[in-house]
Chains A and B, each alone.
Chain A
Amino acid sequence: MNAASLSAPALRCDNLTLGYDRHPAVHHLSCEVDHGALVAIVGPNGAGKSTLLKALVGELKPLQGAYALGAPRERIAYLPQLSEIDRSFPVNVFDMVAMGLWHQLGPLGGLNRGQARRVRATLAAVGLSGLEQRPIGTLSGGQLQRARFARLMLQDARLLLLDEPFNAIDARTTEDLVALMLTWHAEGRTILAVLHDLERVHRHFPQCLLLARESLGFGPTASILTEPLLLRARRLAETFDDHAPVCHRHPAPEVA
């Protein structure tokens, strides 16, 4: 987790186990993601996909194992699921998006002219020109997601963690947002995105991590999204035992 030495991978998980109340949501995950990779995280509901992203941004402590990020904290951007925003709060689109510059502005700094221009240019890039002064409560779901993408772009991160970025978004908006994501990929940023649309994963994501509380495979998309593996994923995700025994698979010492 120390400052980026470029030799380290963008993300390395080492026997990582995450969970709530000792019940693992992600079990013994080990993987290595290269800089500039575009990875889809796929798996049924409850497979631990969101949990993994939460842990990577530090919202959840590992139960066991560790992970290392190849970028400093302020170069990592996280897009949680849409539902976590209070849309009735009185704030306009420009102000919301401008907060993507938090690492330059901090809690007190004002926007200079160049930064204000950058915010407007980014709003234009996501197709929200002219809506700068609108309260966020008046945006449609797709427009709000565009605004969140704009904020994400201003964060200028090297590692982007996207949690279901295209969920409940119409086809046209999804096409635009996917195009934006592909330009970030072309700029050499590392992207991990949780997705449910397997067809889209096939089309745009070179790599894929299939998760069903444990990793069922990580590699080139075509070799991972196979019928037998997907079937296994569905079965694994459905088991939850209140009285599950203690796991002894990797009797490594507990992390502090």
Chain B
Amino acid sequence: MAEWLFAPFADFEFMRRALAGCLALALGATPVGLFLLLRRMSLMGDAMAHAILPGAALGYLAFGLSLGAMTVGGIVAGVLVALAAGAVARSSILKEDASLAAFYLISLAAGVLIVSLRGRNLDLLHVLFGSILALDDASLLLIAAISSVTLFALALLYRPLVLECFDPAFLRSVSVLSPVTHYAFLVLVVLNLVSGFHALGTLMAVGIMVLPAAAARLWTSRLSLMLALSAVTAVLSGLAGLLASFHADVPAGPAIVLAAGIIYVASLVLAPGGLIGARLWRRPHLEF
């Protein structure tokens, strides 16, 4: 058992790197994902993940599989689409979800097309599904740096962000931080999506953000606990996914997201906020 658990990481450096990448993502991207979820913006996260693709693809077209070019391209495209979707929602009759769906489809199509221009299927797979098992020093450092920045930013913005989520009118009435918080949060989302993009690909990046967050939401109604629980869930999913990938020889990215998905479905059934759990955890009601 121990052999089965530890040997892959003891014997192979690429597995250790993948695990470090998962750990960094769990500490940075997952808390951001929890706030996305609590602000009912999970789908927007998904749309923005796809929006990153054409930017990264343009970087790829110009410089090949260069980390820097794809990162910068992805961040620029992500920020542009986030702002554009907001502007479209405010000033046209389309609601934000419709405009996001439109942007997401356009971006995905454009991205795939641009990558194909240079024409290697292997690269396309890399872009769509990431390369968690082939993280080099630079990618690992980038992911770790984004996670560090995210943790600091969340610590600084925690209070205004919580207020912005549940009572934005109050935050606006006491402070000028409301727009600052909103846009800083969007930037954090884009940064973490880019980091998730390098590890898990454009199609899976949101998985490690939202699935562990959704699972944690079902177990507790205390935000601090929820944040910790979501990060732990994400680490466990990463570990389980990597092991499954190693032993069963399946692609790592989808295995990780599927592991998170299994934890989510289990929570959905068993947790106090879940389907059967609501009955499982029911205690006799009080007199008053």
A contacts, CB < 8 Å to B? 57, 59, 74, 76-78, 80, 84-87, 89-92, 96, 99, 102-103, 105, 107-108, 135-137, 151, 155
Contact = CB atoms under 8 A, between A and B. Distances in A.
B167 A90 contact: no
Most A CB atoms within 10 A — which of B169, B170, B175, B220?
Answer: B170
A153 to B, nearest CB: 14
A89 B166 contact: yes
Contacts of B177: 107
B166 A91 contact: yes
A90 B226 contact: yes
B173 A57 contact: yes
Given A89-B38, A91-B223, A107-B156, A102 B165 contact: no
B38 A155 contact: no
A59 B172 contact: yes
A84 B167 contact: yes
B160 interface: yes
Contacts of A96: 166-167
Contact of B175 (A84, A102, A151): A102
A99 B279 CA distance: 35
A135 B159 contact: no
B182 to A, nearest CB: 14
A99 B172 contact: no
B110 interface: no
B76 interface: no
Most B CB atoms within 10 A — which of A57, A87, A91?
Answer: A91
B67 interface: no
26 contacts: A57-B172, A59-B172, A78-B169, A78-B173, A80-B169, A80-B173, A85-B167, A86-B165, A89-B38, A89-B165, A89-B166, A90-B38, A90-B217, A90-B221, A90-B222, A90-B223, A90-B226, A92-B222, A96-B166, A102-B174, A102-B175, A107-B160, A107-B177, A108-B156, A136-B166, A137-B221
Interface in B126-146: none
A226 B187 CA distance: 55
Nearest to A54: B169
A108 B152 CA distance: 13
Contact of B174 (A85, A91, A103, A135): A103
Nearest to B163: A99
Given A107-B177, A155-B174, A91 B162 contact: yes
B215 to A, nearest CB: 14
Interface of B is mostly: helix
A17 B38 CA distance: 38
Interface of A is mostly: mixed
A160 to B, nearest CB: 11
B151 interface: no
B159 A108 contact: yes
A135 B173 contact: no
Contacts of B222: 90, 92
B265 to A, nearest CB: 21
A151 B223 CA distance: 20
Given A77-B173, A85-B167, A89-B38, 14 more contacts: A74-B174, A78-B169, A86-B167, A89-B162, A90-B38, A90-B220, A90-B221, A90-B222, A91-B223, A102-B174, A105-B159, A107-B159, A107-B177, A137-B221
A151 to B, nearest CB: 8
B157 interface: yes
Most A CB atoms within 10 A — which of B38, B165, B221?
Answer: B221
A85 B170 CA distance: 9
B166 A99 contact: no
B174 to A, nearest CB: 4
A38 to B, nearest CB: 20
Most B CB atoms within 10 A — which of A57, A84, A107?
Answer: A107
Contacts of A74: 174
Nearest to B181: A107
Interface in B156-207: 156-157, 159-160, 162-163, 165-170, 172-175, 177
Nearest to B177: A107
A78 B159 CA distance: 19
